Amino acid sequence: MFLATRGSACLGFRVQRRFTPASCRCFSSSAAVVDEPVVKPASFTIQEIPTDVVGDRVDKFLSARLGVPFSVSQKMLRTGRVRLHDGSKGHKIEGSYKLQMGDKLSVPMGADIAVAAEGAGRTKKTVYLSDAEAAEFRKRVLFMNEHVLILNKPAGLATQGGPKLTAHVDGMLECLKFESKEVPRLVHRLDKDVAGCLVLARTREAAVSLGGNLAKREGDRLSKVYWAALSARPQTPEGRIKMSLSKDAIRVMGSLKIVPTEDPSMRVSAVTEYLEIDHAGKSSAFVELYPETGRKHQIRVHCAEALRAPIIGDEKYGSGLGVAAHLVPAFNESIGLQLFSRSITLPYPDGDGKFERVDGGSRVRIVAPLPDHMVPVWKYFGWNQNHRSD
């Protein structure tokens, strides 16, 4: 059972202090933790830009030409592993940089460029699950075909590891290989406290394709729907929020936050559409959110700053629990963030007929159930836990 509690026991797994043999069926997550050295690329190669990609974004070019996930190409640029070459050391560039005629890029060489992108000198945390724990984790798979896997991520489980994190999806991917020879790859992230649909690519080719698809703003794109309980009603029942956000977190009153900004040197565009599904007076609302971009904390900031209705339970961008004062007695400090990834619509037909088909059957929609920590809130307000949008 996956529990959304604080601390290292957020998965309900026992902590194993002994080393688990390499023959363990599943390598990863919050049991025993082992440090493995990350491979450092031996040298760099200079890539001259072909004329047919002039004007393209450099992060998309790297994904397509190097065969790495879009998230990896962005990380290589962000950490300076890929540079615009000027004859000496070169200099860092943003992922949004448009390639120009005559540009040259210095790119790290190595057998696994995705591993190299993690950064030289760091260690990769590998942890081990028992067979029972691995089997329980696999039950969270909502959809799988030869290209993609949709995981129902529990709240409290980080998508990727960090200095203080021993439990994370990235460390459990070996468990989700099934019959494939390749370990699944992350193609986007969910905040640690956000539950629901998480997309994994089952092959390198799928990772490149899905990474580029997520970056698309229109057309036949992978689309995501989020549910949230807001601490106030939006002024209008539906709308489109276009509010630029800071690229990186900024310290505000002792807390690191993503903030709205119009400073061209530090902003990124962020767009979210929303629709109010239900409400309870003026003090709360059940909304669906449709992000067109995927910025860090985008939905949380847009709700708090643009709608003036922070998500209930959002202690970072709300006030306290983000619950109206007269509702506080109905909840407590363990309420949790009332936001989750409700559904993913994929550009694949559903040959088995087990899932909801949309757009004439050319795409399939995968829906996650309301997570356990959000059920009491929906029950309290009398909202429909099984609401389905067209």
**Which residue out of 59, 103, 170, 191 is catalytically annotated?**
191
Query: Residue for token digits 């202690």?
Result: 315
- Asked whether residue 182 carries a pLDDT value surpassing 50, the answer given is yes
CA distance 378 to 255: 30
**Catalytic residue status for 372:** no
- Superfamily, domain 44-116: RNA-binding S4 domain (3.10.290.10)
pLDDT band for position 109 (cuts 50, 70, 90): low
Are 26-38+123-215 and 223-381 in the same CATH fold?
Answer: yes
Residue 242, CA distances (Å) to 293, 294, 301, 317, 318 in order:
10, 13, 11, 18, 20
SS3 label, residue 330: helix
Structure tokens at 236: 């209008």
Maximum CA extent, the chain = 65
Instruction: Report the pLDDT value the prediction gives residue 349, as an integer from 0 to 100.
Output: 65
- Superfamily, domain 26-38+123-215: Pseudouridine synthase (3.30.2350.10)
Give 118's DSSP letter.
T
Delimit the domains of the chain by residue range. 26-38+123-215, 44-116, 223-381
Instruction: Report the pLDDT value the prediction gives residue 149, as an integer from 0 to 100.
Output: 95
81-90, 250-259, 275-284: range with lowest mean pLDDT:
81-90
- Asked whether residue 282 carries a pLDDT value surpassing 60, the answer given is yes
pLDDT per position as a tens digit, 39-55: 333 356 666 776 666 77
Q: What phi, psi does 64 have (nearest 5°)? A: -70, -40
SS3 label, residue 274: strand
Are 303 and 312 spatial neighbours (Cβ–Cβ below 8 Å)? Answer: no
pLDDT per position as a tens digit, 210-245: 776 766 655 566 889 999 999 999 999 999 999 999
**To the nearest whole number, what is the mean pLDDT of the chain?**
76
- Asked whether residue 339 carries a pLDDT value surpassing 80, the answer given is yes
pLDDT band for position 25 (cuts 50, 70, 90): very low
pLDDT per position as a tens digit, 287-307: 999 999 888 899 999 999 999
Instruction: Report the pLDDT value the prediction gives residue 309, as an integer from 0 to 100.
Output: 94
**How many residues are given for the chain?**
390
Q: What phi, psi does 272 have (nearest 5°)? A: -135, 130
What kind of fold does domain 223-381 have according to CATH? Pseudouridine synthase (3.30.2350)
Are 233 and 275 spatial neighbours (Cβ–Cβ below 8 Å)? Answer: no
Mean pLDDT for 151-162 is 90
Mean pLDDT for 354-360 is 60
